[in-house]
Structure 1
Amino acid sequence: MMRAGLLALLLMLPWAAAAEQTSEKSAAYVVDTGDAWVDTQLQDINHYAERYPDSFLDEVSRYAGVSRGYIAALMHTHGWQAGDIYFACFWAHVIERSCRESVQTWSRAVPEEGQAKRWDAVVAELPVTPTNLHWRALRHAIVASHDHWDRPVKLDATLQRQLGNREQRQRAASSPTPPAR
């Protein structure tokens, strides 16, 4: 009985390893959300998840409000790229929908022949019309994640005005919330 279990485990190892986030998968990762800054950060998130998959899963679970088991299954069992998981779950969070809904919409998307799937097309299929406030919330979440990971992030001029430099963001995060008036 124990031999059969061990044999099954050994046979599953190559399959499980193929679903991990790897440098090869990250190097080949192309994302198109319609926002070049977001795309660059999602590619960086992919590279981060190669080295720190548990921290990545914890971040998405904690701050996007998604079951860690669900996102781990997307990454390890279904072979999703970390950047796509991040976008699916945080986009769903900012539009107040479930990550599963974003994932299902992505999974149903069928691009034109010879074309890659594009997140901007998936976003258009979701039941909430995207606004600048949604994109701003997503961008702020990306910056916050980089800060949580103690990872550098280059802010564009708008984000710099909105969020300040890293020291200002850390000071704001650690200061108590002012009393309501």
Structure 2
Amino acid sequence: MRAFVPLVAILALLPGPVLVHAQEVAQNPATAPDAEPAPQAPAQPRTGDAWIDAHLLDMDLYAARFADAFVDEIVRYHEAPRELVEAALAGGGLRPGDVYFACALAQAGGRSCRTVLEARRQDPAAGWEAIAAGLEVAPAVYRRIRGDITESYVRWARPLVSGTPSNP
């Protein structure tokens, strides 16, 4: 009890507003000066295919842990230059799922990955469905991209995202 008494005495000497502010912060940590903003939901890829969208978002998580394997996958299986993939990921404007989809869409649609990435950079607010339409890539290539994603997940020994239709 003796150790507690000096603490109470010190708190009693604090000016009123400081003590009131401390109580407010304790009741609502979001008002603290160093409080982190609430996490926002990730931007949706908007490919027009919910299964692909879910997996592109999951790829962001995978790439955060296994960046080298993620880059290797795109370079090897989507025939994209390593420097291009690394620069796209390092630039900060594109999420890993965006880079994967750009290179997969490019390969399936007979374009270069650089061309598709540039189209995305020119209109970052547009969803992938609009970008693919602007590049005149037929929606039929999505079936191939779904297969590519499934094969990538097998190589990564990663389960496909649950809660999405599993018809690749």
Fold match (TM-score > 0.5): yes
Q: Deviations over 1:36-92 (max 9, x none)?
A: 010000001110000000000000000000011110011113442001001100000
Partner of 2:87: 73
| Residues 1:86 and 2:100 are matched in the alignment | yes
Q: Deviations over 1:96-118 (max 9, x none)?
A: 110011111112226xxxxx421
Sort the Cα spacing of 1:148 and 1:109 in 2 relative to 1 into closer, same or farther, 3 A. Answer: same
Partner of 2:148: 141
Sort the Cα spacing of 1:39 and 1:55 in 2 relative to 1 into closer, same or farther, 3 A. Answer: same
Identify unmatched segments of 5+ residues in structure 2. 1-37
**Divergent runs of 4+, >2 A:** 24-30, 154-159
Sort the Cα spacing of 1:120 and 1:46 in 2 relative to 1 into closer, same or farther, 3 A. Answer: same
Provide the C-alpha distance between the structure 1 equivalents of 2:165 and 2:61, rounded to a whole number of angstroms. Answer: 21
Identify unmatched segments of 5+ residues in structure 1. 1-23, 111-115, 160-181
| Residues 1:124 and 2:133 are matched in the alignment | yes
Partner of 2:59: 45
Superposed CA RMSD: 2.2
Provide the C-alpha distance between the structure 2 equivalents of 1:62 and 1:109, rounded to a whole number of angstroms. Answer: 27
Provide the C-alpha distance between the structure 1 equivalents of 2:48 and 2:139, rounded to a whole number of angstroms. Answer: 13
Q: Is the 8 A contact 2:51 2:166 kept in 1?
A: no
Partner of 2:25: none
Partner of 2:11: none
**Kindly, what percent of the aligned residue pairs are identical?**
35
Q: Secondary structure at the match of 2:126?
A: coil
Code of the aligned partner of 1:126: L
Partner of 2:71: 57
Aligned residues: 129
TM-score, normalized by length of structure 1?
0.65
Q: Deviations over 1:123-172 (max 9, x none)?
A: 011043x142x11100000000000100001573533xxxxxxxxxxxxx
Provide the C-alpha distance between the structure 1 equivalents of 2:68 and 2:82, rounded to a whole number of angstroms. Answer: 10
